[in-house]
Structure 1
Amino acid sequence: MSEHDASGRRSFLAHTGALAAAAAVSTSLSACSSGPKSTNGTGEDGGTGGSASLTAVIGYGNDGSWDPTQTASAFAMAGNQHIYEGLVDTDPITRAPYAALATSVPDETQLKGTSWKFTLRSGATWHDGKPVTADDVVFVFERILDPKTQTLAKGFFESWLKEVRKTGESSVELLLKFPFPDGVARLTLAKIMPKHVFSAAGAWDEAMKGKAVGSGPYRQVSHQPKTNTTFAAFDGYNGPRKPAYRSMNWLTIVDAAPRVAKISGGSADAQIADNIPYANIQRLERDGLTVEGGAGMNNLFLMFNTAHKPFDDVRVRQALHYAIDTGKMIEVALKGHGKAASSFLNEQNPSHRRAGTVYAYDPKKARQLLKDAGVSGLRVDLMAVNVSWIVDCLPTIKASWDAIGVRTTLDPQETTAVFTKMDQKKDYQVVAAASNPNQFGLDADLIMRYNYGPANLWMGYARWAGNTTAKQLFRQMDQATREPDAAKKKTMIQEYLDTVAEQAVIYPVVHNELMTAWDGRRITGVQAQPYPGINVLKARPA
């Protein structure tokens, strides 16, 4: 694996879902860049960008990878939705596919087959003015499917997509290994990038560091890691979601207090902010702001190093889950905006079914499991990311584990630091972090391949891929992926999710609600996302 791929691995997991690096941000930044026009709609009726500017506050770091084939950074993924296009993109709330760079979405007849044909939008150009061509599409998919290149996107495509062919200067054909209708929505994860820019030596490293050149409604103007990223309306954009702002400035403020201060009060600089702390909801509403939540798969999870005894014993992993007083965590840390996990999937997911193993608070059972495993006097160093709501949950975990005789030390640190240690294969015991695969999509197969793909980084971090049970799980996942009958596929997924729950290698403790606040007197058309970041492709000045 090349150095840039290793760096990309660090970056995408350093910002998985709700993961974020701590950042100190100056409060004197002013709006200086472009903004998109909508948070979730198609935006077909939008303008070409007026004179208004938008300032947004993102509660996650902007210093993760910006390479669309690699990133899971909440900030970068949100930004890339405004900079780049896929052949097909999806609505950020309903996740319904719509034609983006392509002129149409595959019809039902195509979806039943193994050949999807696309024609590119006439007149589409890159932000540097050069035309978008079929060569650009093939270039991106070849990177994603390249067996020698480790990318996050590969896990979303390689199981079902065979190859992508150029059929004309502005047309391509996707050849599938088997019919896979769910793949249409995943095409938004293959953002098309200009070959003439990113085929240059060192360009993927530059993409990771923040370089972005797309065909979308906004172009990146400047990028200052740990501070802000600015955008401007792309006047050459002729697609379905026209920009409503001439400029947009997205500030990265991970610490809760300054983030809230930026959007509150009579002299608030920002019109919208995500990752709003629950304790600040009423205050912001009193200030006249709208604060709404989105419930999805956002979760606090535990990840065990199964190569470090005694965490190779499933009974120990289960004991530590049973020991956590999730009711107290939800009441105290999440202020009621959460729900204890009843499956790997959140209850709103269409494939959710209550798992065969549910970790209801049961300290007596936890103690018995440790006894059965022959474990006593256990000391746990819980390494955790410093995302604000995760930090709020950590005291409950410590108190719960201490109560069953497990001496617990909390070790929160910057997210990048946590996952750099993971990449360096350093020893650890247990990690507590946040994740939200819903930023990639809703289908359970995609979510599982993100977290439990046999060759992905999570399995490497947990040191579990070589386990006999893991290998059987991977076979079950492949069988479910290929199942053409939707009802049978759902049942197969639910059955192997029971294994995931029982093994508890990487498993959620609670799913929580993510809160977004905005000033309806200054911005309209906003919808709160159930995953980190914002999408303002349908929003506009009030």
Structure 2
Amino acid sequence: MRRTSLAFLLASSVALPAAAQNLTMGAGAPATSLDPHFFNAAPNSSVAAHIFSRLVERDAQVRPQPGLAESWRPISETVWEFKLRPGVKWHDGRDFTADDVVFTFERAPNVPNSPGGFGGFLRMVSRVEVVDPLTLRIHTRAPHPLLPVDLSYVFIISRHAGQGASTEDYNSGRAAIGTGPYRLRSNTPGERVDFERNDAYYGGREPWARATYRVIANDSARTAALIAGDVDLIDQVPSSDLERLRRETRVALHQIQGLRMIYLQADFTRTANVPGVTDNAGQPLPANPFLDVRVRRALSIGVNREALAERVMEGTAAPSGQWLPPGVYSYNPDVPPPAFDPDGARRLLAEAGYPQGFRVVLTTPNDRYPNDARTAQAVAQMWTRIGVRTEIQALPWTSFSARAARQEFGIRLAGWGSSTGEASYAAINIIGTYNREQRRGASNSGRYSNPAMDALVDRATATLDDEARERVLHEVIKMAMDDQAVVPLFHLINTWATRRGVAYEARMDESTRAMAARAAQ
């Protein structure tokens, strides 16, 4: 369901009255930091996109577009040349140059205490050659046709503001000096971020003089704020409110097929004493059950994905058996959603040595994804019926994300948006073997490892021919799903709601940003 609101396309030339030049966005999840390299999570990137720019930007369908780089081209199999946009100024008035890109590439993979960073996007970069202040040549370790796509995820920071700056310096605003369409006015962590327009923005002056990213984690409160006129738009529209909002004449809905998979990820770091995993008497198990692929497959086929999509998500999701939705490059049509088979799940558990099952705690965020805690609760009920007695631990996103990065959970519900629109992004970042030096597995909190799959991914990302690369990526998907590296549940349909008078360009990457909003006729 790829569609862009016609109202948005007609709105760009509509003049705004003075009283309507401020925009307030009601967001369902907070950014955990203003450091644009701290955590590769959608809320963080949404906020950062107001302040910072990237060499390559992405449109609403995640297609690469010129950003700080006006153009790019391969000049050999392992060298790309990027021509930078002249005349770009940092918010403090200093010139943007190639040296800032060099500094960014040095810092982005090495942010202390990052729960899931950006190293995976730079893993193939061997060195950066500065030809002149506006020309870069990026050398890669092997042929890498996806380099422009990778770079569309790395926000560029300035050397003069970022040298020696910590994550806290960005959170406080001291180092949060970008080239983006808005300047930072203030940041109240977990509550709101306020921006003011950057009139010198290279991409053109935005219509909103001020914009606010206001966190309203409670679904009902978010909808109520929109209807009351306290906010101009909301994201993560609660599925239970969709029918009501469709009938509401003061509100418009904007939807697009999303790239985010909601999935389950088990702990692979321990051989025993897995957090929250015991026998039925509450005693620790002698071995980690998740290391047995039969257990992982049992948990997968023990989930009724159709019921989750239809009842829990109320039609705002589609069942999935892999990390890409149909219609996207490298989606493998031979890997469908697993059929619900509770009897088969019990047989697999018995074969694995658990005829009576066991007990687990499934941890989930309760304010990050649409219906996240409700989804986990439904999965818990399904697993309990196959003999895996499941309790739910629901946590706020800020706590959940930090603890997940420390491998504190036995099994967890999470989300991943493959916003590159192809399979290698997830294969490198969430199921690739964790290796800081190779910049692989940055968001692999479960620490799953499959060297054979890693080798296939490396082969795919070095394959220049699109059709040949897609065939290898199909192999990657099948191998990972045969081994049940993660348990995909469904893909989201992204929905925003706006008050009458505001149009919004729905984005496949879920990004909530003032730049996608315009006055509607």
Whether TM-score is above 0.5 comes out as yes
User: Is residue 106 of structure 1 aligned with residue 72 of structure 2?
Assistant: yes
Aligned partner of 2:458 in structure 1 is 478
Name the SS for the 1:462 alignment partner.
coil
Q: Corresponding residue for 1:294?
A: 256
Tell me the SS of whatever aligns to 2:236. Answer: coil
CA distance 1:45–1:290, change in 2 (3 Å): closer
Q: CA deviation at 1:269?
A: 1.8
| 1:150-299 equivalent positions in 2, closer than 5 A | 152-159=117-124, 161-200=125-164, 202-207=165-170, 212-237=176-201, 239-265=202-228, 268-288=229-249, 289-299=251-261
Q: Is 1:131 equivalent to 2:95 in the alignment? A: yes
How far, CA to CA, are the matches of 1:291 and 1:149 in structure 2? 38
- 2:510 corresponds in structure 1 to 532
- Which whole-Å CA distance do the structure 2 matches of 1:401 and 1:377 have between them? 10
For the aligned residue pairs, the C-alpha RMSD in angstroms reads 2.8
Matched residue, 2:283: none
1:417 and 1:131 map into 2 onto residues whose CA distance is 38
Q: Distance in 2 between matches of 1:533 and 1:406?
A: 36
The answer to whether residue 445 in structure 2 is matched with residue 461 in structure 1 is: yes
Distance 1:143 1:449, change over 3 A: same
> Equivalent residue for 2:382?
400
Which residue of 2 is the match for residue 11 of structure 1? none
Q: Which whole-Å deviations, capped at 9, do the CAs of 1:343-393 have from their partners, x for residues lacking one?
A: 232223221113457421010110110011111231111111113511121
**1:330 correspondence with 2:297:** no
Which segments of 5 or more consecutive residues in structure 1 lack a partner in the other structure? 1-37
Q: Deviations over 1:39-88 (max 9, x none)?
A: 999x99899997711111111113x1322223223222112222111122
**TM-score normalised by the chain length of structure 2:** 0.86
1:343 aligns with 2:322: yes
Task: Give how far 1:491 is off.
Answer: 0.8
Q: Distance in 1 between matches of 2:338 and 2:27?
A: 33
- C-alpha deviations, 1:431-464, integer Å up to 9, x for none? 11223232xx212212321212322556763243
Q: For residues 179 and 47 of structure 1, do their structure 2 counterparts lie closer, same or farther at Cα, with a shift above 3 Å needed? A: farther
Partner Cα distance (2:294, 2:183) in 1 = 51
Give the 3 Å change call, closer, same or farther, for CA 156–523 of structure 1 in structure 2: same
SS at match of 1:131: coil
Structure 1 residues 247 and 518: CA distance shift in structure 2, 3 A: same
CA, structure 1 residues 80+230, in 2 after alignment: closer, same or farther (shift >3 Å)?
A: same
Partner deviation per Cα, 1:247-283 (whole Å, 9 max, x = no partner): 1111011110111111014xx1211110001111122
Change (3 A) 1:231 1:460: closer
Q: Contact 1:355 / 1:497 at 8 angstroms: preserved in 2?
A: no
AA paired with 2:26? V
Residue identity opposite 1:297 in structure 2: L
1:125-175 CA deviation, whole Å, 9 max, x = no partner? 11111111222111111224669997722111212x221122223332222
Q: Distance in 1 between matches of 2:442 and 2:136?
A: 33
- SS in structure 2 of the partner of residue 259 of structure 1: helix
Q: Distance in 1 between matches of 2:75 and 2:385?
A: 54
Q: Tell me which residue corresponds to 1:10.
A: none
Change (3 A) 1:229 1:320: same
**1:450 counterpart = 2:429:** yes
1:315: Cα distance to partner? 0.4
Contact 1:162/1:175 (CA < 8 Å) preserved in 2? Answer: yes
1:379-426 CA distances to partner (integer Å, 9 max, x unpaired)? 111111113511121232122112112211111112232333334443
Between stretches 141-150 and 295-304, larger displacement belongs to 141-150
Query: Which letter maps to 2:92?
Result: D
Distance change >3 Å, CA 457–CA 511, structure 1 → 2: same
Q: Which runs of 5+ in 2 are unaligned?
A: 1-5, 275-287
Map residues 400-419 of structure 1 onto 2, 5 A cutoff: 400-419=382-401
- Give the whole-Å Cα distance in 1 for the aligned partners of 2:65 and 2:16: 20
Match of residue 58, structure 1, among 8, 16, 27: 27
Between the aligned partners of 1:494 and 1:40, the Cα distance in structure 2 is 36
Higher percent of residues as strand: 2
Cα deviation digits, residues 504-526 of structure 1 (max 9, x gap): 2323111121211112x3223x2
Report the CA distance between 1:241 and its aligned residue. Answer: 4.1
In the alignment, the residues of structure 2 paired with residue 527 and residue 259 of structure 1 have an alpha-carbon distance, to the nearest angstrom, of: 19
CA distance in 2, matches of 1:512, 1:401: 22
1:86 to 50, 54, 73: 54
User: Which residue identity does 1:97 align to in structure 2?
Assistant: P
**Structure 2 counterpart of 1:300, which letter?**
I
The percent of aligned pairs where both chains have the same amino acid is 24
SS at match of 1:126: coil
1-structure distance, mates of 2:222, 2:112? 41
Residue type matched to 2:389 in 1? R
2:424 and 2:473 in contact (8 A); partners too: yes
Please say if 1:437 is aligned against 2:400.
no
For the residues of structure 2 that align with 1:126 and 1:462, how far apart are their CA atoms?
Answer: 39
Question: Match for 2:236: what amino acid?
Answer: N
Counterpart of 2:237, as a letter, is I
